[in-house]
Structure 1
Amino acid sequence: MVIPLTGIGTSIVGIAALKYAWAKPGHLRPYAISGGWVLLGLALFFFARSLGGEIGVPVGATFICVTALAFALANIEVRPQKVRREREAVIDPAARKKVWWRGTLRVLLAGPLSGAAAFGVGTALSTKLPMEPVNAVAIGGLMVPLIWGAGMAWTLSDGKILRAFTVLLVVCAVSYPLAFLF
């Protein structure tokens, strides 16, 4: 029972020595740093001795971390918040008349059409990259979510729906024949 308590005590004193070395730089600082690390090593030794090496070392390391966290939390300094100036209002999106078909078209472009374009590019990459088939399939497969996300973000942020529609159709029209025909 004495050995685990010794491990607890040496870890607390070791962390306190390191805290002292951090807070009070002076001529004792090198001794406090080296003494703190030696005490932490001894704490691990005492935990390993009392609980066994497989359990004692992780328990000791965890206790040292929790002790250091307690020392850090004990020194929290709450400062008054600065008065912030108010920011200017956010610029409104393009003043357009809200039309139901526009939102529906954006959803169709961002979801299925961007996905179709991403799958087409991924398939084309998988079939046409000059490398081992396993690597080509991995690269093509990993590119699909990236391209799909980029297509979604671009489609939803672009002000011109027809441009997004045209580009996604062109990507589909080029990638699928490239993947399956050539």
Structure 2
Amino acid sequence: MNEQIAGVLGIAVCLASVLMLRRAWRDAGLRRKLWAAGGWLVLIPASILIALWWGVVVGLAVMLLTFSLCAMTVVKVGEERRPARPAKSRIREEMGLDPDERRRSRWRGWARGAAAILLTAITANAIGAAAAGIAPGAQSDRFATGVVIVPLLWACLIIWMLSDRVMLRPVLSMTAASAIAGAVIAWTLLS
């Protein structure tokens, strides 16, 4: 089979997969499960066809990109715009303000950002050091484990802390995680 034909067929199969998943989204009952299973299973031949066209490594990335673009296109085409309901604004006036709708102050934003950077850095480094301390293998492998974990964990923790409306939840959770990681570090150093 010609590589270009395989690639075009792979793109068409990706689009068919997205359409099957969209149909599963709208249907109910057993048919919904069948459409969803079929939509995900159709990605296997799509990835094989695109891999024939681009090669295995690049083909997988191209298949994921094609699937994402097809999905975004289907969602955009099926988009519905509804007029805003005036009754909600009246209900909102009767209720109290949401924390996100309160007047913002500059110092609170700066304090939140500084706390996020410091606390998440301490927590991520503590968990990374604890993971490196208890990981099996040679010292260089354990060091690599810690080096890989810390930046990913730091980014996730900053996102969590800055996106949560109530700062107390992430602060308490990260303080507890830092304490547990510190105990693990102390245990590995003393044993």
Please classify the TM superposition score into its range, dividing by the shorter chain length: 0.3 to 0.5
Q: TM-score, normalised by structure 2?
A: 0.45
Larger-gyration structure (1/2): 1
TM-score (norm 1): 0.47
* Structure (1 or 2) with the greater helix fraction: 2
